[in-house]
Amino acid sequence: MKAFISRRDFLKVSGAAAAAAALAGCSSGSSGSAGGKTVKIGVFEPASGDNGAGGKQEVLGIEYANSVAPTVDIGGETYNVELVEVDNQSSTDKAVTAAQELVSKKVSVVLGSYGSGVSIAAAPTFQSASIPAIGCSCTNPAVTEANPYYFRVCFLDPFQGSVMANFAKDEFGAANAYVLSMLGEDYGSGLATYFVNAFEDLGGTVTSEQFPEGTSDFSAYIQNAINAGADLIFAPCATTYAAQIITQAASAGFDKPITAGDTWESSVILDAQKGTSVQVYCSTFFDENDDSGAAKEFVAGFKEWLNADSQKLTNNGGNDIVAAVSALGYDAYMTALEAIKAAGSTDGTAIKDALFGVDYDGVEIRKGAADSMRDYVLQNGGAYSTECDGTVKSISNQGGTPLVVAKNHKILGVIYLKDIIKRGVKEKFADLRKMGIKTIMITGDNPLTAAAIAAEAGVDDFLAEATPEGKLKMIRDFQSKGHLVAMTGDGTNDAPALAQADVAVAMNSGTQAAKEAGNMVDLDSSPTKLIDIVRIGKQLLMTRGSLTTFSIANDVAKYFAIIPALFMGLYPGLSALNIMGLQSPLSAVLSAIIYNALIIIALIPLALKGVKYREVSAGKLLSRNLLIYGLGGLIAPFIFIKLIDMILVLFGLA
């Protein structure tokens, strides 16, 4: 049997063009008519559901950008830009239908969505149609993972999870955190996991819980936080639930900080907090008080545009506060226009290719793999030093993932990302090896990093720079050789391999696609849970085999014992085979019946408890069980039937 364990690439933005930290300058664009020529930009956002409020604010940023730049030059001709808006209803079930609607309306590029879950659900639809999508505020890494058609203009959850964990430690001296997220929600579950990992790495302790969709009473969860002695609450969830958590925390007298991710940057939160003593902190993408030229110009223009329309003001929460997601919506639209211009075409594939190199005015900050960042810096007249190259190699050799960061074509440094091997993992992989199971780690990392991690974790082999196709091919190759293959994974790119494997275990912290492709979901999100699954499976098989072996051997011995006694009256010669010296045919039959009833009762505890499993080879297990249950099944009838026969004769019952 082969076991495969997928490793998620943290902070990997698949094909992300520019993770820009600042806004573009507000280009005036052309407001004149472009004749009948139009390019369509899809707006894939929630106007209803849990994320409806945030979705509307993100759309406002896109619509404002469209008012600023309503046309785009393509190959020397001016095209009108038409926004095609659909409501994904904050639902992963409805997201695919909404995405298909945009495809049917022949949009050239898509913007959105607020909410990582719906973006993850829709991503395959856009990729299949060769339509690039630019995420505005969808921060889960799985959105862009293994999808060259999905980009983003925001930071990622691993980053903000780590930032909020460090903030909790540095600002409040927190040692104990209570983490609350919605069950089955990609954004909240993912961000919660990254926060927990970072907080525990800092030496903190965490109590985690998840609430089901539709929850309105959070009093029990807040009380659990109080009982756990939490120094703060971290609750990455939709604003609908956030407002209730804040008001109910205030009612319960919770006087510690409540923190969250980017979704809480909303007037809904301010309204819920108003009049309470609850302290609320969250990460954000944009500060409207930024007095830099581009940001200042954007804020002034956006507020003027917003206040000119009462409906737009209502969609913004009834005030003119500039939401960070509005700024991101603006950025995404302007990025799309730059890509369309660079492509010189309305074709989705051409726009996708152009997005990899799109820039616009503002502070340009990029991060990525060393090779791509070297090419990017050199092509733009920058310098890539041997010191940087040496640092990258050193990190890779130590089992880390190097990410090179550049600002305005100048290398700033290298980020060292290190996957922490959980305690006891190496020993568990050794247990799998004793079972005769080969373990293979699959990762998108470079071979040097993969080799270092594989050695540290104690796996037998690894596949580096793996693609979804590569994972699928490896599993099929092993299956074609007669091996049974088990697979664990958590990413969308793991889904095809999980579907192909004989046994597939998806992580609870993973994407919906991975969960649907797996045979089962591990609520603890531990890859080593596969060991327990194999152990339980083998124990069940061994128990069934042992009971069957004993039963067959028992029947053979039982009938060999009583048949001579049963028929020796008719055939006196059979008395020579009555080696047990049973008294009579009657006593032989009664003894066998009584023995049969008693042995079934005696085997019930064994069937319930199961045969004890040991991490030894299959050959040794078979020999051991044949010796105990095969030989035992042959001997037991002779002993116990004779004893029962003697008792029956003693009491004159036969």
| DSSP per-residue codes, 598-630 | HHHHHHHHHHHH-PPP-SS-HHHHHHHHIIIII
pLDDT band at 527 (very low <50, low <70, confident <90, very high): low
Scanning the structure block, which residue is given the tokens 């993969």? 450
Taking residues 489-514, what's their average pLDDT?
85
SS3 of residue 84 by DSSP: strand
Could you count the other beta carbons within 10 Å of the beta carbon of residue 419?
19
| 55 alpha-carbon distance from chain centroid | 23
Task: Report the pLDDT value the prediction gives residue 10, as an integer from 0 to 100.
Answer: 23
Q: Summarize pLDDT for 122-160 with one digit per residue, the tens.
A: 999 999 999 999 999 999 988 998 788 999 999 899 989
Whether the upstream peptide bond of residue 137 has omega within 30° of 0, thus cis, is no
Q: Of 607, 589, 441, nearest to 540 (Cα)?
A: 607
**pLDDT per residue as tens digits for the range 28-44:** 333 344 457 999 999 99
Residue 455 confidence (pLDDT):
84
| Residue 411: strand, helix, or coil | strand
User: For 235-251, what is the mean pLDDT?
Assistant: 93
| Range 600-608 average pLDDT | 80
299-335 residues labelled b (16+ CB within 10 A) or e (exposed): beebbebbeeeeebeebbbeebbbbbbbbbbbbbbbb
> Residue 362's pLDDT is what?
56
pLDDT for 261 equals 92
Neighbour tally for 394: CB within 10 Å: 13
d(CA 271, CA 240): 12
- Maximum average pLDDT range among 4-18, 69-83, 548-562, 624-638: 69-83
Predicted confidence (pLDDT) per residue in 320-353, tens digit: 999 999 999 999 999 999 999 999 999 999 999 9
* Residues in the chain, total: 654
Q: DSSP readout, 145-206? A: TT-TTEEESS--HHHHHHHHHHHHHHHH--SEEEEEEETT-HHHHHHHHHHHHHHHHTT-EE
Using the predicted structure, report yes or no on whether residue 218 has a pLDDT greater than 90: yes
How do residues 582-594 score in pLDDT, each as one tens digit?
Answer: 777 777 778 878 8
- Which one has a higher pLDDT value, 272 or 452? 272
Strands (E), 322-431: 365-368, 401-407, 410-417
Examine the pLDDT at 564 and tell me if it is beyond 80: no
**529-567 vs 585-609: helix axis angle to the nearest 10?**
180
148: exposed, middle or buried (Cβ count in 10 Å: 0-12, 13-18, 19+): middle
Q: Are 487 and 141 in contact (CB under 8 A)?
A: no
**511 has a pLDDT exceeding 60:** yes
- Structure confidence by residue, pLDDT tens digits, 358-382: 866 655 677 778 888 888 888 888 8
Q: Which of 235-244, 420-429, 631-640 has the lowest mean pLDDT?
A: 420-429
CA distances in angstroms from 227 to 20, 117, 337, listed in the order given: 42, 32, 52
- 11 pLDDT band (50/70/90 cuts)? very low
Asked if pLDDT for residue 20 goes beyond 50, the answer is no
Amino acid letter, 639: I
Which are the contacts of 413, defined by CB distance < 8 A and separation ≥ 6?
A: 404, 405
Give 142's DSSP letter.
G
Spatial separation of the C-alpha atoms in residues 475 and 501, rounded to whole Å: 7
State what percent of residues in the chain have pLDDT above 70.
89
Q: What is the pLDDT of residues 616-650, one digit of tens each?
A: 666 777 777 778 878 877 788 778 878 888 888 88
Q: Would you say 511 and 119 are in contact if contact means Cβ atoms under 8 Å apart?
A: no
| Three-class HEC string of 12-81 | CCCCCCCCCCCCCCCCCCCCCCCCCCEEEEEEEECCCCCCHHHHHHHHHHHHHHHHHCCEEEECCEEEEE
40 and 305 in contact (C-beta within 8 Å)?
no
The amino acid sitting at 344 is G
Distance CA 343, CA 229 (A): 56
Q: Please state the pTM of the whole predicted model.
A: 0.59
Q: What are phi and psi of 319, to 5 degrees?
A: -140, 175
In degrees and rounded to multiples of 5, residue 467 shows phi and psi of -105, 165
Q: Please state which of the ranges 39-43, 117-121, 607-611 shows the lowest mean pLDDT.
A: 607-611
DSSP 569: T
Cβ-contact 390, 371 below 8 angstroms? no
Residue appearing with tokens 């998108």: 444
pLDDT value at 17 more than 70: no
User: pLDDT averaged over the chain?
Assistant: 84
What is the reported pLDDT for 61? 96
Q: Please answer whether residues 495 and 515 qualify as being in contact, where contact means their C-beta atoms are separated by less than 8 angstroms.
A: no
Q: How many CA atoms lie within 13 A of 69 on its CB side?
A: 24
Highest mean pLDDT among 20-29, 231-240, 525-534: 231-240
DSSP letters for 341-363 = HHHTS--HHHHHHHHTT---SS-
Burial class (CB in 10 A: 0-12, 13-18, 19+), 390: exposed
Residue 615 has pLDDT above 70, yes or no: no
573: pLDDT strictly greater than 70: no
β pairing state of 503-507 and 38-45:
unpaired
Distances (CA, A) of 375 to 236, 368, 402, 404, 406: 37, 11, 16, 12, 12
Give the H/E segment covering residue 314: helix 310-315
CA distance 27 to 17: 20
Instruction: Provide mean pLDDT across the span 186-204.
Output: 92
Residue 3: predicted pLDDT? 44
Q: What is the mean pLDDT of residues 65-82?
A: 95
**What confidence score (pLDDT) does residue 15 get?**
28
Picking from 459, 416, 436, 372, the residue whose alpha carbon sits closest to that of residue 6 is 459
Angle, alpha carbons 160-200-260 (nearest 5°): 35
Summarize pLDDT for 348-361 with one digit per residue, the tens.
Answer: 999 999 998 786 66
Residue 25 has pLDDT above 50, yes or no: no
Is residue 7 predicted with pLDDT exceeding 60?
Answer: no
On whether the CB atoms of residues 518 and 498 are closer than 8 A, the answer is yes
CA distance 565 to 591: 11
Q: What per-residue confidence (pLDDT) applies to 528?
A: 67
User: Are 13 and 57 within 8 A, CB to CB?
Assistant: no
